[in-house]
Structure 1
Amino acid sequence: MSTMTLEFLSLAGNFLTGFEQFFDILPWNKLSIFEYKVSNNKFTGEIPKVFCSLASLSVLELSNNNLSGKLPPCLGNKRSAISVLNLGDNSFSGDIPETFTSGCSLRVVDFSKNKLEGKIPRSLANCTKLEILNLEKNKINDVFPSWLGILPDLRVLILRSNRLHRVIGKPRNNVEFPRVQIVDLSNNSFKGNLPLEYFRNWTAMKNVHGLCGKPLSRKCGNGEDSLPAAKRDEGSAPYPLEFGWKVVVTGYASGLVIGVILGCVMDTRKYEWLVNL
């Protein structure tokens, strides 16, 4: 096999800890690779800067490893073709870089279950193709990012278990978050009243095609009222999610915390649809 024509590399689900003489074996400066998947291994250290030079890279999945250090600022700029960036369940720390530029290709961003701090970078608003943003279980200290409401295709916003705080203000217009279907803000420190205007505006949540079980009148195929995720044929699935039905409204001593969830199952195998759009 010629290393110059390698396009897809998947080593996920092993016990790998690194590569021996990796950079001597593969001429990365000339390599065209579109998908790099090494999730569920035991890789350690920081993300190699070599990923910044892979102009053709579209899918980067490094989740569930032992990676650490700061996030490279290059992964969201206009020179990057990455559309799926999954770095969840590692030990990354520091602030999320404020380097998401106009022309950003990102559609899926998963930085969940790390040690990230600071604020949600306002430059994410430049990623107009973004559909899924998962920042759960970090140490992000910020207010509700209403400015993300301008993103036309954002469907999933998961911010649970962070240090978000203050009052959630009313939306500035009736078109904020026009396509959002999953919002999880639970286990934060929001306070005050939750503006009902958001629920009136989140009309995309009314689309429950394929869902079954309570509170819906449609029973599941097995005749039970359980709430399994709806199984879809991969060819007909509109986006890489399987849905169940769940609504969580929880009060805490620190204030009112709201999570509205349409059971999200992040199946990395279904990220592939994004690459072909």
Structure 2
Amino acid sequence: MLNETIPSWCFSLPFLTFVDLSDNLFTGHISAISSHSLQYLDLCRNKLQGNVPKSMFNLVNLTELCLSSKWSGSLYFSLFSKLQNLKALSLSGFNSLLLASETNVSYQFTNLLSLQLLQVDLTNISKILWKFPKLQTLVLSENKLEGNVPKWIHDIHSLERLKLSQNQLSSIGQFPWYQLKYLDLSFNLLTDDNISFICNATSLQIVNLSHNKFKDTIPQCLANSPDLQDLDLPMNKFHGTLPSTFSRDLISLNLNGNQLEGHLPRSLSNCKDLIDLNLGNNQIEDTFPNWLQSLPYLEILVLQSNKLYGPIVSLKTKDMFPHLLIFDISSNHFSGQLPKVYIKSFQAMKSVVGVQTSFYYIKSSYVFITKEIEIEYHESMTATMKGLRTNFEKIPEFLVSIDLSSNRFEGEIPDDFGELHRLIGLNLSHNNLNGPVPHSLGNLSNLESLDLSSNMVTGKIPDELTNLISLEVLNLSSNHLEGTIPRGKQFDTFSNDSYEENMGVCGFPLSIQCNNNVPQQQYPSSEAEDKFGFGWKPVAIGYACGMVFGIGLGCCVFLNWKTSMACDHLWRQKN
């Protein structure tokens, strides 16, 4: 939290070789630099202003330089080529970084290994005349780059890590980076129909093509890349079936939000290091992949919004999903009882942890450090939390949740949920569950969201639920609950919406007051009744139709009787 201007003595000590003042609140200008022995200078992530001092380009011993702020004034990028020993350069926040040289001469960055330009106005980037004979890492994210990947990037055959995310690129073009290990082209407008050319890079470890417009099938050669550890292709338009086999070194596979169909490949059970499997929002049609329960490190399993069906059957092995933290199979066609055997085996959800003072993320994240330029790479996902669809660019380890909603599960809610002490989200809504709300749910002290709505749950709301001091969202609507709503703690903060369409409940916050005589239980309609039984609406319609028919028939009988009596009276008068 250091602030104000950086003292001039910091740059004037004659034997100083290392200066790191990054991640502070320094403001103002940088004074002239006379410490010519400097080899390392990191001023990134401050609030510096003004121009870069010309004396900086006299630091001939400098090997690593990081500058980021809202710099004013123009700066020719070619000036950095004077620093012949420079191996790592990171710049961000330059409003006017001039890429073309003053003399239109090609400049060599002879020893540069890592270059990072973030949020820089990269105008005319396709016309530059730079030469990077040794460059291994190139990061040009968040720069509004358009069209094809520039030719000068294609000419860097030494690249091992390339990150061009969050731009407006429409085509990759040729693919000459055979040594590439890390490729991130996410959040662009790429439409190349066939991405098989990526397989030319036989050493790929991480591939992120998420949030683009790719339309073809996923090439088998990519899934089989021998060193592949992370394959992120969500939010595209990939179609067809999933590859039949995957690299055994796979740690993360995210194909969410495509148009994939067919069966789940059983070969995924051979990926023993798999931590994250996200196949949600596709059109996969299969039964539950119980063969995944043998994966020892699996922490995230998302299969939501597919065409999966049938009961969830356990293979009854000794350790089933021991490290699972996120289990989302919502919006499918699963039926039968809730998977009680699995719920009892979720050991990682049971361990009690204290309140975390900082975020720890799912361990499938990577950090590449190449000459002090860090490339962070974390697993991401989209989940329904507290009733809202939420995007997580990083998945914190405390995000422990189960979502079994919008299926056809039936039977009672198992008490075993009460043993999953790390749960912060539990969603069982829109099923055919019946029986009481388990008292054991009151043990979930970390629970922030509980949704049991649109079922056929009966009985009273357990007083133990008032122990849920972290609860922010509660939805018990559209059930058959009755009795007094518990008071105290978080329960005093919930609105009528949490209890609507439970005609048997009373008390705050509802307008229905409780008395010694419990209100007569009235069962409202529920989604389950609409789907599988007769609710009050069909009965009311039948009753109304019967009344209309009965009244009409009565009128006809009465009119016929009066006509008959009149005719009889006239006949008697004539005779």
Say which structure is richer in helix.
2
Aligned equivalents of 1:87, 1:239: Cα separation in 2: 16
Q: Which position in structure 1 is the counterpart of 2:345?
A: 201
Aligned equivalents of 1:12, 1:208: Cα separation in 2: 38
1:59 partner letter: I
**How many pairs does the alignment contain?**
233
Q: Which position in structure 2 is the counterpart of 1:17?
A: 170
Give the stretch that moved more between structures: 54-63 or 170-179.
Answer: 170-179
Q: How does 1:1-277 map to 2 (within 5 A)?
A: 1-2=132-133, 3-19=156-172, 22-23=173-174, 27-28=176-177, 31-77=178-224, 79-100=225-246, 104-207=248-351, 209=353, 231-232=359-360, 238-240=363-365, 241-242=395-396, 243-244=398-399, 246-250=401-405, 252=407, 254-255=408-409
Paired residues of 1:171 and 1:197 also in contact (CA < 8 A) = no
Aligned equivalents of 1:262, 1:107: Cα separation in 2: 25
TM-score calculated relative to the size of structure 1: 0.76
Structure 2: give runs of 5+ residues left out of the alignment: 1-131, 134-155, 366-394, 414-419, 426-575
Paired residues of 2:215 and 2:238 also in contact (CA < 8 A) = yes
Aligned equivalents of 1:250, 1:207: Cα separation in 2: 24
Aligned equivalents of 1:245, 1:175: Cα separation in 2: 19
SS state at 1:199 partner: helix
Superposition deviation, residue 167 in structure 1: 0.6
TM-score calculated relative to the size of structure 2: 0.38
Aligned equivalents of 2:331, 2:167: Cα separation in 1: 33
1:156-213 CA-to-partner distances (Å, cap 9, x unmatched) read 100001111001113422312222111101111100102311111110112454657x
Superposition deviation, residue 55 in structure 1: 1.6
Aligned equivalents of 2:354, 2:181: Cα separation in 1: 32
Q: Identity percentage over the alignment?
A: 34
SS state at 1:81 partner: coil
Counterparts in 2 of 1:56 and 1:119: CA distance versus 1, 3 Å: same
Aligned equivalents of 1:247, 1:125: Cα separation in 2: 22
1:206-262 CA-to-partner distances (Å, cap 9, x unmatched) read 2454657xxxxxxxx7xxxxxxxx623x7xx7444313354445355x445x9x976
Aligned equivalents of 1:262, 1:5: Cα separation in 2: 46
Superposition deviation, residue 147 in structure 1: 0.2
1:231 partner letter: F
Superposition deviation, residue 100 in structure 1: 2.4
Between structure 1 and structure 2, the one with the greater Rg is: 2
Counterparts in 2 of 1:178 and 1:4: CA distance versus 1, 3 Å: same
Counterparts in 2 of 1:48 and 1:170: CA distance versus 1, 3 Å: closer
Aligned equivalents of 1:32, 1:168: Cα separation in 2: 44
Counterparts in 2 of 1:118 and 1:124: CA distance versus 1, 3 Å: same
Counterparts in 2 of 1:238 and 1:57: CA distance versus 1, 3 Å: closer
Counterparts in 2 of 1:141 and 1:262: CA distance versus 1, 3 Å: farther
SS state at 2:405 partner: strand
